[in-house]
Amino acid sequence: MEKSRYDIKDLTLAETGRQRIEWAAREMPVVKLIRERFTKEKPFKDVRISGCLHITTETANLALALKDGGANLILCASNPLSTQDDTAAALVDYGIPTNAIKGEDETTYYKHIDTALDNKPQLTVDDGADLVTIMHTKRRSLLKDVIGGTEETTTGVVRLRSMANAEQLKYPIIAVNDAQTKYLFDNRYGTGQSTIDGITRVTNILWASKKTVVCGYGWCGRGVASRAKGLGAQVIVTEVEPVRALEAAMDGFSVMPLTEAAKVGDIFITVTGDKHVIDQTHLQVMKDGAILANSGHFNVEINIPALEKMVRRKRRIRPCVDEYALKDGRHLYLLGEGRLINLAAAEGHPASVMDMSFANQALCLEYIVKNKGKLKVKVYPVPEKIDRHIARLKLDSLGIQIDTLTPEQRKYLLSWQEGT
């Protein structure tokens, strides 16, 4: 492989990465089945794919399935702090060009995206829509070759739908994030567990009795709130959407405006996908010692520039923990530079839930290839047939059997004549 096609921290880490990738594979039986079929059928023979994803052991198993399916694949990171350097090295060792270094600066981050785009992709796999956005703004000459793409996360889907509404999207994309086998499990159980894991690893806090403020009660927020509650935290939820706020209240959580929660919270976790959720007005009233963490895709949910202006002294007190000594004598602690704490400080989602998310990625990419030229330029949901197929494969892998409708029940559900 040409050195110009990859950029990683240290190739000697490859063996450690291989072992960790194999460990993750144990928990990814659906992706394993798909990989075995792809190896035989080669659905991506000579198809160029550029992927902008978190470079983790779970992503590696998806990448190997695509490679074995015949793809000419290149990868880059979708977040500067989410890369596992040993995984990146192993991917290069497997023959998959990878451009990702944990802690890379902004210039390097976008240079790596450009390198991935040099592959002149026919398919794109994105997590946050940075790669798609760069292609639509600075690398527009590449658009003519693209068949379609997939998007992994809520933030990316929001950006892509905005592009589509503005008539700026130039090729069809499937919103993998919106599959039931993705958001009901990855977003809820994956984000819930891995966020708590990341915060615990870098702070070693005891969750019991901590007033934990969860900003946002979408599927990710639901997961974080339930896991924190399970550890004994006193969970407060803040929301802007009335139905979700009501649901949080019915689930047993305190619900209040963030201006009020800011005064009492010990730990603050943002999971909204929006900008400056925690703003200067909130930072000004937080108690001494409050901990701030983000589990949304981009590092904009906490107003870090405002925090920087309030600071008297800043220091790295623990790995991934920055202490902000404020001019008024208080101390606030920002985790993971405000980036995805579950990946910046831990290993991201457990492989078992990523098994379903990446099965969706693999099968949706195959669907796009099979339907080349037939899809309109818009953001599509995951085909229901794919979603249900993945659910059944996962149930089979868990040894779980379910009932089926009888002919009489099917007839009843399709009829309208029968009543009381």
> Which of 66, 63, 113 shows the shortest CA–CA distance to 87?
63
Q: If you write DSSP's letter for every residue of 55-84 in order, what string do you get?
A: -SHHHHHHHHHHHHTT-EEEEEESSTT---
Residue 1 has pLDDT above 80, yes or no: no
Looking at residue 327, what is its pLDDT? 97
Residue 124, pLDDT > 80, answer yes
Task: Please choose, from the candidates 344, 199, 201, the residue with its C-alpha nearest in 3D space to the C-alpha of residue 268.
Answer: 199
282 against 417, higher pLDDT: 282
Going by pLDDT thresholds of 50, 70 and 90, the confidence category of residue 266 is: very high
Is residue 49 within 8 Å of 72, Cβ to Cβ? yes
Q: How far apart are CA 208 and CA 261, in angstroms?
A: 18
Length of the chain: 420
Q: What percent of the chain has pLDDT over 90?
A: 98
Angstrom distance (rounded) from CA 133 to CA 296: 18
Q: pLDDT at position 2, please?
A: 85
Identify the bridge partners of residue 234 per DSSP, sorted by sequence position: 211
Q: What is the predicted pLDDT for the residue at 417?
A: 87
> H-type helices in 180-298, by residue range?
180-182, 191-203, 219-230, 242-250, 258-264, 280-283
Domains of the chain, start order: 3-182+350-397 (3.40.50.1480), 189-344 (3.40.50.720)
pTM of model > 0.85: yes
pLDDT digits (tens, 9 = 90+) for 199-230: 999 999 999 999 999 999 999 999 999 999 99
User: Average pLDDT for residues 85-96, to the nearest whole number?
Assistant: 98
Three-class DSSP category at 341: helix
pLDDT at 257: 98
Structure tokens at 42: 């080669």
pLDDT for 153 beyond 80: yes
Q: Is the pLDDT of residue 158 over 90?
A: yes
The confidence score (pLDDT) of residue 4 equals 85
The single residue listed with the structure tokens 């059928």 is 41
Categorize the per-residue pLDDT at 135 as very low, low, confident or very high, splitting at 50, 70 and 90. very high
Point out which residues pair with 150 in neighbouring strands.
125, 174
H-state helical runs in 106-169: 106-117, 130-137, 154-165
pLDDT class for 183, splitting at 50, 70, 90?
very high
pLDDT classification of 132: cutoffs 50, 70, 90: very high
Check residue 370 and give its pLDDT. 98
- Pairing verdict, β 211-215 and 267-270: parallel
pLDDT reported for residue 381: 97
In angstroms, the CA 24 to CA 62 distance is 11
Compute the average pLDDT of residues 14-41. Answer: 98
Helices then strands, counting H and E runs in the chain, come out as: 18, 15
Q: What pLDDT band is residue 418 in, cutting at 50, 70 and 90? A: confident
